[in-house]
Amino acid sequence: MYITLLKHQWRKTTRSSFFRQGWGVKILMTIVALYFLASFGALGYFAKEILNQAFDEPAVLTPIFMGFVLYYLLVDLVMRFFLQDLTVLTVQHYLVLPIAKSKVINYLLGSSIFSFFNLLPLFLITPWAIRVVAVEQGPSDAVLWFLALLGFVFTNHFLAIYVKRVLAVNVKIFGAVALVVALAFLGDFMDWFSLTELSKSIFGPLGADPLLGLISFGLMALIYLVNFRFLLKMTHLDRWKVAAKEASSTRFSFLEQRGPLGLMMANELKLITRNKRTKTILWMTLFFSAYGLIFYTNPIYKDSISWLLFVGIFMTGIFLINYGQFLVSWESAYFDGILTRAYHMEEYYKSKYYLLAFSAVVMYVLTLPYGYFGMKAIYINTACFIYNVGVNTLVLIFASTYNKKPIDLSRGSAFNYQGTGAAQFLIIIPLMVVPMLMVYAFDLLWDGNYGLIFLAALGLIGILSRNYFIKQTVLNFQEKKYINAAGYRQRD
């Protein structure tokens, strides 16, 4: 039975859209994964040397190592929470078939441990167990120590998926977990208590007497049981149903009275404010408007005009780049409607232009307070703002005619690669690096400030000739629209 379920899972994975995605994304994701594995492996291997250096060659290292375990587990929990995938829907089709519910649930929980996030800590603790614990306490203790930590890793794993599952039903739990983790770090930072000492007192004895460490397996079993019972209760489909939220009645009357162009902009604002993934971008945008603080307060970057330019382009254009690179894909669910409604495509693309330009205006105003760090910040951000509106917006709009992957708006955005292709990552390069290089060249050969004037001039030219570029976009769109429409209709 478990074999059949495993087979289904395998097919689901190999036939999933992620697997069928272009090679670009696969290679990129593999590189990211290998990078993390290598980093963790190296950290685990050299932890001996690092700790020896930091603590002046103490007699035994393992207790010091144990002082960091709690930190690791807390960070791990948060990472898992945001990045680890959940298998939720797969259960549904087995419920009406003659398979014991407990089997399906055991399978669901059991198979979940084959996760990248469980492989990662192995790379950290295995070298330590071999190089340090085996030497300090003997090989048999090393094995026990390894198993004990493995138990904690899995406890974390099941805790994370439990919290994530509960969250699908009850949002408050998430708040509680976030609060506990945040308080733990805040308390440590403010010296109310020491996480290191706490970690030492909890995990220290386990390190000294690894048999005690097997308590971790008890914990794991406990949280597994909690998961099991929760899932058993949730096998009735109606329990999953989240009550449809009452529709928002926000209106953008100002825009809605401005003809088709305004109507389309109002619709797009509704799209952004009413869908989970676009809302995530909105929050990210606000969050990253503080990005400049890192650069303006750091003397290394303070005098480098090309780095500050990067920050300027990023801050005034973060929404534009993030949202703009999936332009039209956001609306893939009703693309046929877009193609047949009573407006000309030129109006449609104009509404996109004004929306993106408007976002840049908002971000420009939000970043004006950076003037506190000197007028230079204002000059840079102004040049970047004009460049974003005049050049980057038009580039993104033109690039959108090559989008053909549908996006499911209701999903969150972290590690959701739906609708992305390697081209989507490539687009960031010309948008950010090109202006940086241009200013760098000016800075090197002449004066960086002339570079700013040059960027602003390019932007102004773009703004003045926007209608020409939008027309070219529409011409290209008319050619590509059949392929795009076919792509957008392929929803899973």
Task: Supply angle C-alpha 425, 312, 270, rounded to 5.
Answer: 65
Nearer to another protein, 235 or 275 (CB): 275
- Residues in the interface with another protein (CB under 8 A) total 31
Site for another protein in 451-490 (CB under 8 A): 482, 485-486, 489
Q: Could you say which residues in the range 405-444 bind another protein, by CB under 8 A?
A: 409
Q: Which CB, 209 or 346, lies closer to another protein? A: 346
Tokens representing residue 306 in the block: 């090309």
Q: Does residue 48 bind another protein (CB under 8 A)? A: no
Question: Which window, 7-15, 40-48, 294-302, 332-340, contacts another protein (CB under 8 A)?
Answer: 332-340
Helices 305-324 and 375-387 pack at an angle, to 10 degrees, of 40
Among 58, 259, 371, 374, binds another protein (CB under 8 A): 259
Q: Which is nearer to another protein, 229 or 489 (CB)?
A: 489
| CA 185 remoteness from chain centre | 22
Of 236 and 341, CB closest to another protein: 341
Decide whether 55 or 482 has the Cβ nearer to another protein: 482
276 part of the interface to another protein, by CB under 8 A: no
Judged by CB under 8 A, does residue 226 bind another protein?
Answer: no
* 3-state SS record for the chain: CHHHHHHHHHHHHHCCCCCCCCHHHHHHHHHHHHHHHHHHHHHHHHHHHHHHHHCCCCCCCHHHHHCCHHHHHHHHHHHHHHHCCCCCHHHHHHCCCCCCHHHHHHHHHHHCCCCHHHHHHHHHHHHHHHHHHHHHHCHHHHHHHHHHHHHHHHHHHHHHHHHHHHHHHCHHHHHHHHHHHHHHHHHHHCCCCCHHHHHHHHHHHHHHCHHHHCHHHHHHHHHHHHHHHHHHHCCCHHHCCCCCCCCCCCCCHHHHCCHHHHHHHHHHHHHHHHCHHHHHHHHHHHHHCCCHHHHHCCHHHHCCHHHHHHHHHHHHHHHHHHHHCCCCHHHHHHHHHHHHCCCCHHHHHHHHHHHHHHHHHHHHHHCHHHHHHCHHHHHHHHHHHHHHHHHHHHHHHHHHHHCCCCCCCCCCCCCCCCCCCHHHHHCHHHHHHHHHHHHHHHHHHCCHHHHHHHHHHHHHHHHHCHHHHHHHHHHHHHHHHHHHHHHHHCCC
Q: Between 55 and 283, whose beta carbon lies closer to another protein?
A: 283
Residue number, 57 or 492, with CB nearest to another protein:
492
Q: How far is the CB of 271 from another protein (least distance, A)?
A: 6
Minimal distance, residue 423 CB to another protein, in Å:
23
Shortest approach of another protein to residue 244 CB, angstroms? 4
- Which one, 193 or 334, has the nearer CB to another protein? 334
Q: How far is the CB of 437 from another protein (least distance, A)?
A: 40
Can residue 345 be called a binding residue for another protein (CB under 8 A)?
Answer: yes
Closest C-alpha among 452, 299, 312 to residue 370: 312
Which of the residues 239 through 258 are near another protein (CB under 8 A)? 244, 246-247, 249, 256
Say whether residue 275 binds another protein (CB under 8 A). yes
Is residue 342 at the binding interface for another protein, with CB under 8 A as the rule?
A: yes
> Which CB, 98 or 337, lies closer to another protein?
337
**Letter for the amino acid at 381?**
N
Among 8, 26, 274, 302, binds another protein (CB under 8 A): 274
190/247 with CB nearer another protein: 247
Q: Does 309 bind another protein (CB under 8 A)?
A: no
- Residue number, 13 or 257, with CB nearest to another protein: 257
Q: Which of 18, 35, 116, 334 binds another protein (CB under 8 A)?
A: 334
Nearest-approach distance from CB 481 to another protein, in angstroms = 8
Residues 351-410 within binding reach of another protein (CB under 8 A): 409
Q: Which range of residues in 67-75, 89-97, 176-184, 330-338 is near another protein by CB under 8 A? A: 330-338
Closest CB 72 distance from another protein, rounded Å: 41
Q: Which residues bind another protein (CB under 8 A)?
A: 244, 246-247, 249, 256, 259-260, 263, 267, 270-271, 274-275, 331, 333-337, 339-345, 409, 482, 485-486, 489
